[in-house]
């Protein structure tokens, strides 16, 4: 095996490792985005309920 072939093999292995890490990061970012969206929806529902209660209190 020549030196250039060994160099290309090392680069290929490193490229695969980078690809795997980027794919894992993308999965984590997607999971975090979903969790934030769900938390935002829960917060909106809670705020809507609180606003309804506050509106009922101010009317009496």
Determine the Cα–Cα distance for residues 58 and 33; give it in Å rounded to an integer.
Answer: 37
DSSP classification of residue 55: H
**Residue 2 main-chain phi, psi, to 5 deg:** -80, 165
Question: pTM, whole model, 2 decimals?
Answer: 0.67
pLDDT at 58 over 80: no
What's the token pair of residue 36? 């934030």
pLDDT in tens, 12-50: 999 999 999 999 999 999 999 999 999 999 999 999 999
What are the helix (H) ranges across the chain? 3-59
Q: Determine how many CB atoms are found less than 10 A away from the CB of residue 34.
A: 10
């Amino acid at each position: 095996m020549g030196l250039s072939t060994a160099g290309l093999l090392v680069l290929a292995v490193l490229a695969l490792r980078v690809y795997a890490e980027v794919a894992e990061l993308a999965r984590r970012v997607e999971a975090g985005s979903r969790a934030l969206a769900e938390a935002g929806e829960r917060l909106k529902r809670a705020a809507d309920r609180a606003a309804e209660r506050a509106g009922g209190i101010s009317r009496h």
